[in-house]
Chain A
């Protein structure tokens, strides 16, 4: 029976290749845009290498200082001293890693310049993240206490600086801004879209130029707080708030007197959003972006409905003939349902291969180095379902109504 319906569907689809093409085009386009978009969002916000513990991590990245009149405001990452006093001392978390936001440096090899993103971290940074060590190992508390000039570099930098992909470079020296660092480990690099772990070269925070000695509250450091379990988040946030609450106010920091100070430990998504959601006009901006997205998704849907509705009349005589030869309304209904599912699935297949291609293209283009976009199958399933609903509403419902027509009326048209 089913195979009969499928054969019928196939014939119907081939009867008007142009309309089949329009329908498929719409479904494929909508699904592809949705898939690529969600896979990019997942790449930005999801739990991926090297932040494989992001789902149970809290990020402390910003300190906001305000004066009473709210005229002046200072905002930015914190100093090492602040994080050491108020974050490292937290009891609830499993571990706390500290790192700088990225900085820049240059290194020169054979008359060629390599631009480097630098990061100063503590030893726990390597424990709250899970970097793949291709060679060597991370620096430890011992290296930090000794103030060793050591560095962990990425495989990409190894290729550029040592111009050799195979041989071990551990123990060799890399000259960055006239200071020689001993390479202690080589990691697989992290994509630039993960700013808290991205870098080309990582130094212990006691290495030169890290400014960890700064006494103020604000500086260039941030903390990644690894909880034992996601359920500990509220406890950690409360503990952090009470730690920070002990700081007497008002205070003067870097020539700025402030009476209010806010800082929060947030999961990555909220931390990410707070960077963009700052300011009062954001609601307008976001409603416009939302409206635009709705349009982008809604247009193909309207188009699909439109084409389907217009084509119903064309099928009237077919329905009339089938009814005249004794087909019950149920059989007709099934035919339309299967027809719709069939075409949606074909569109889905196209969309899947197309998004796969686009994602491969993005991953390999070098547009984002170390990009690791993947297809999210739950999103795929959800969007297929939405397409099916639209297809059924626009194709099956009018067809069903038509199948209830009197045979004479149907045949007449």
Chain B
């Protein structure tokens, strides 16, 4: 059967090669778009690990004021925590959730080292963002006196550095040569959190490490505030006024995590939607074209069909022949496409896990065969309904 089909295809190699190119090109486009979708969907299905509702970010900027920055920041923090509307507040480095800023650094345990997102926070952080700990505890004020900086790591980093070992109490080093004077360079793990996808649902679950911020830190002046439900802009206005009175000349910028999350998501979603719409139209175009070409081809092969029917072929076997021809053609194109597509996981383009590409390849193959089958089905059925007597009579 297959050999017969191949022979039939070879007989019309001219027009079939055009068809193969068309299906191959559709496969490549599908592969590209599906890789994008699978990658984002994969990430989306993993929870972000923290609660962002009712959390505000206050960005303080001391501008030209250079005196007693640390003291003023501490005072402002105390003031913020004293409001009845504030459930909890925490200082953080500039890479707040959903912001465009990232910081990463390599961290090592004995000989194993791994890149990890670096977050400098204080004792209240896990409470402010409802970040649950799977082992150990969040760092406490008492930890400040210890020789090495207390840190909390996420599960991903734990797997990378420790494997099955218990990470609690272990001391990590920092490969960074330029250690700033007031920062301690060893880190003691006090707790483990499950996930912290700071850039939102579409972010990859990267290794992360939370380091306790120095008490006199002058640089990281962002404050996360968890407000009680029902707090509105009136309180926000008061907060800004009060801080402005405590630190004249400082810039105070308030944003909501819910809003920055939406902006962050749009950055991912808008390109995906545009690609989806365009490739949707493209595939419709290709499907219509395929349908038209097959229809024409079958009209031209009426006599052949008539002969086969007269020789005793059933309706089913005629349908199968035409569907089979298309499938063989599609398989050719897909194999050709695979030669290109497998380069992506092999060359590790874009640093995306191979599984994403493989899923996308599988999905693209399925979609191509579904489209080809749908387009070939109706013409094949029509071919099967050809009356042998009529077809042979025309001849």
Query: Does B367 belong to the interface (CB within 8 Å)?
Result: no
Contacts of A295 in B (CB 8 A): 25, 28-29, 32
Given known pairs A22-B288, A106-B254, A178-B241, the reply for A305 and B282 (CB within 8 Å) is: no
Query: Does A326 belong to the interface (CB within 8 Å)?
Result: no
- Across the interface, do B22 and A303 meet the contact criterion of CB distance under 8 Å? yes
- Across the interface, do B233 and A211 meet the contact criterion of CB distance under 8 Å? no
Interface positions, chain A 98-127, Cβ under 8 Å from B, are: 103-106, 108, 111-113, 115
Query: Does B19 belong to the interface (CB within 8 Å)?
Result: yes
Contacts of A291 in B (CB 8 A): 28
- Across the interface, do B293 and A288 meet the contact criterion of CB distance under 8 Å? no
Query: Does B297 belong to the interface (CB within 8 Å)?
Result: yes
Min distance, Cβ B350 to any Cβ of chain A, angstroms: 8
Contacts of B237 in A (CB 8 A): 108, 111, 113
The 0/1 profile, CB within 8 Å of A marked 1, for residues 149-184 of chain B is 000000000000000000000000000000000000
Min distance, Cβ B106 to any Cβ of chain A, angstroms: 13
Given known pairs A112-B233, A300-B282, A310-B297, the reply for A305 and B18 (CB within 8 Å) is: yes
Min distance, Cβ B266 to any Cβ of chain A, angstroms: 9
Query: Does A329 belong to the interface (CB within 8 Å)?
Result: no
Given known pairs A108-B236, A295-B29, A314-B296, the reply for A33 and B288 (CB within 8 Å) is: no
Contacts of A115 in B (CB 8 A): 255
- Across the interface, do A104 and B253 meet the contact criterion of CB distance under 8 Å? yes
Min distance, Cβ A214 to any Cβ of chain B, angstroms: 8
B30 closest partner in A (C-beta): A295
- Across the interface, do B282 and A292 meet the contact criterion of CB distance under 8 Å? no
Interface positions, chain B 263-298, Cβ under 8 Å from A, are: 278-279, 281-282, 284-286, 288-289, 292-293, 296-297
- Across the interface, do A177 and B251 meet the contact criterion of CB distance under 8 Å? yes
Q: Tell me, in angstroms, the Cα distance from A26 to B289 when the chains sit together.
A: 9
Instruction: Kindly name the residue among B64, B232, B279, B300 whose own CB sees the greatest number of chain A CB atoms within 10 A.
Output: B64
Q: Tell me, in angstroms, the Cα distance from A190 to B299 when the chains sit together.
A: 59
Q: Tell me, in angstroms, the Cα distance from A291 to B350 when the chains sit together.
A: 15
Given known pairs A115-B255, A307-B293, A309-B18, the reply for A302 and B249 (CB within 8 Å) is: no
Tally A-B pairs: CB < 8 A: 115
Contacts of A298 in B (CB 8 A): 25
Given known pairs A108-B236, A211-B63, A309-B15, the reply for A296 and B289 (CB within 8 Å) is: no
A214 closest partner in B (C-beta): B64
- Across the interface, do B285 and A303 meet the contact criterion of CB distance under 8 Å? yes
Q: How many residues on the A side are at the interface (Cβ–Cβ under 8 A)?
A: 44
Query: Does A29 belong to the interface (CB within 8 Å)?
Result: yes
Query: Does B386 belong to the interface (CB within 8 Å)?
Result: no
B297 closest partner in A (C-beta): A310
Min distance, Cβ A175 to any Cβ of chain B, angstroms: 10
Contacts of A104 in B (CB 8 A): 59, 253, 255
Query: Does B61 belong to the interface (CB within 8 Å)?
Result: yes
Contacts of B21 in A (CB 8 A): 302
The 0/1 profile, CB within 8 Å of A marked 1, for residues 110-152 of chain B is 0000000000000000000000000000000000000000000
Contacts of A276 in B (CB 8 A): none
- Across the interface, do B29 and A21 meet the contact criterion of CB distance under 8 Å? no
- Across the interface, do B292 and A302 meet the contact criterion of CB distance under 8 Å? no
* Smallest CB-CB A-B distances: 10 pairs: A303-B289, A108-B237, A178-B244, A113-B233, A310-B293, A22-B288, A310-B296, A302-B22, A111-B234, A104-B253
- 27 A-B interface contacts by CB (under 8 A): A18-B292, A25-B285, A26-B285, A29-B282, A33-B278, A108-B240, A111-B232, A115-B255, A177-B252, A208-B63, A209-B63, A209-B251, A211-B63, A211-B64, A285-B350, A292-B32, A295-B25, A295-B29, A296-B282, A299-B25, A299-B26, A299-B282, A303-B22, A306-B18, A306-B22, A306-B289, A306-B293
